[in-house]
Each structure stands twice: as C-alpha cells, then as structure tokens.
Amino acid sequence: MDPSRRSVSLGVVVLTMGDRERELEALLESVAAQEGDAAAVVVLGQGVGLPELPAGVAGVELAENLGIPGGRNAGVRWLRERGGVDVVVVLDDDGLLPRTDTLRLVREAFAGNPRLGVVGFRIVDEEGRTLRRHVPRLGGADPAESGPVTTYLGGAHAIRMSVIEEVGDFPAEFFYAHEETDFAWRALDAGWEIHYRTDLLLRHPRTEASRHAVYYRNTGRNRVWLAKRRLPAVLVPVYLASWAAYTLVQRPPLHGLRAWWAGFFEGVRVPCPPRRPMRWRTVWRMARLGRPPVI
C-alpha cells in the first residue's frame, strides 16, 4: 500500500442477543489484538442488557430486537454520529478473528481500490473448513479462491460507509434472511465492486441456518420481496420459480416446507417497497461474474 495514502478508519458493529457472553468476550479480545490503529467498536444488545464490556468498546442497548438488518442500521447510525469512520466491519458475536492482520488487510483492500464497496470474509469452522453455504458462488465453488462476487456473507463483512450513504440502509423489514443480497444488488447496480477474500478469516462454530425459528418462513418471504424490489419484471417469476425448485430439491422437513410456502405467499401478498429494479447492464454484469439474478 502506498504509505502516502490516507489511512482507512474502521468501525466494528457486533449484534448480540445476550446469550453468548463468553463468545462475545473472545471476539472482542480478537478485535483488540488486531494490528494497526484501533477500530471504533460498538456492541448492540437486541432488546437485552449488555454485560460489562472492555474499555474502549461502546455498548448500546436497543429497546427491542430490531432483527439483523435493523440492528446493523442502528450500529451504522452510531458510527455515523461518532464520525470519522470510512469502513464498517460487521462480525457475528460468536465469531473470532484468528489472525491479527485481518483489519489491516481490510484497510489495505479499501485504500487500494476506490471502487471496492464490500468485502466478504471467509468463514471457517473449528476445523478450518468452510461450509458450502458460506461460499458466495454457485455450487459452493472453491472456498479458497478469492475474487469478485455478486453477494457476501452477513456474519463477517466490511462495507465502505460511502456505499451505505449512496444506496441506503439494510432492509429492516426483512428482519432476518437475504438482507445482504438486497444490499449487494443495490451496490452492484450503483457500480460498486464486491470481493470475497479468503485471507480474511472469521472462525465460527459449525451450525445450520435452519436453527433459527424463523428461518423457513423468512427465507420464503424475503426471496419474494427481494425479487419484487430489485429485479426487472420479466425476471421475477423466473427467479422465484428457480428458488422454489431448489427448495423442493433440498427436501426440507415437512414443517419447514409448510413454513417456507407460508412465507412465500406472504411475500406475494404483502408489499415491501420501494421497487427499484436493477438495470439490465447490472444483470449482464452479474451473469459475467457467474451468478445471473435468476439462480
């Protein structure tokens, strides 16, 4: 990195439900151990009280659980009011940064590419493996290959603050599931780049997404909302048909399938404005990156 280039200032946002105190403590220790200038760190309690936090870490106790996108929006607002933050880093409260150079590499990535809008980390389990669903490419292709992608992982990522200012907040109405894709499509449509970096690691316990009670319902509903909000009209039925077929092939449990369809039809029935479809050149750009917005 050119030493004359202005250093990139980082802010770290962590959401918690108050049920992972030991994991949260370990995460904050790993953030404090990072090389270079200290990041501004804020922990937000989603309708819960916060434990005692380390010196230099701010705590915000939200009156209610705002969901993942709503909580992140609150964290971004706190950093914006504090001022001086160029890039927002979002980390799961049960994750851990196993390397001490991670935030330095984030700074260098954004300083070196003015069109870089979002960087997704590689998430690994306790044995250093990456689950297929944690690779932001079709088919879970080679988790060890960095490069440009069309989406990113919610549990560990960094976003340039100016991108949020340009394209808007995370969709709070989604509450949980696919809020990253909605944001990613807006960022791509505005001309920003999204990169997946395998040297930026977050260690995270091996879990299944379906552990969340609202997983199936919100996944079905938010897929519909995503398509209605962001896709050209002709692609909406194609996208939804492909995801319905994919869901059936995965053979979820009967209760999960019922919840998924209930969410799907809720998404059809209930509006979630605004509708701002991406441009066709963005569709083509996503296709060239290996993931057209119909799959």
Overall number of domains in the chain? 2
Closest CA to 107 of 237, 176, 223, 197: 197
First-last CA distance in the chain: 37
Name the region of 8 (left: φ>0; alpha: ψ -120 to 50; beta: rest): beta
Residues 45 and 99 in one domain: yes
In which domain, by residue range, is 138 found?
10-206
User: Burial of 211 by CB count in 10 Å (0-12 exposed, 13-18 middle, 19+ buried)?
Assistant: exposed
Residues 171 and 222 in one domain: no
Cβ neighbours of residue 186 closer than 8 Å, sequence gap 6 or more: 167, 168, 230, 276, 278
- At residue 39's C-alpha, the angle toward residues 146 and 26, to 5°, is 80
Asked whether residue 1 is assigned to any structural domain, the reply reads no
Buried b / exposed e over 157-183, threshold 16 CB at 10 Å, is: bbbbbebbeebebbbbbbbbbbbbbbb
pTM as predicted: 0.94
Closest CA to 125 of 142, 138, 143: 143
Residues 194 and 225 in one domain: no
Residues 48 and 170 in one domain: yes
Q: In which residue ranges of the chain is pLDDT below 70?
A: 1-6, 139-141, 209-213
Q: Which of 206, 238, 272 is the last residue of a domain?
A: 206
Omega into 237 within 30° of 0, i.e. cis? no
Asked whether residue 4 is assigned to any structural domain, the reply reads no
Q: Which of 206, 227, 247 is the last residue of a domain?
A: 206
Asked whether residue 295 is assigned to any structural domain, the reply reads no
Residues 188 and 226 in one domain: no
Measure the CA–CA gap between 36 and 27, rounded to whole angstroms.
17
Q: Residues, the chain, total? A: 295
Task: Say if residues 154 and 194 touch (Cβ distance below 8 Å).
Answer: no
**Measured torsion, CA atoms of residues 119, 125, 130, 135, in degrees rounded to the nearest 10:** -40
Q: Give residue 209's pLDDT.
A: 65
Residues 127 and 20 in one domain: yes
Q: Which of 206, 238, 260 is the last residue of a domain?
A: 206
Name the region of 154 (left: φ>0; alpha: ψ -120 to 50; beta: rest): alpha
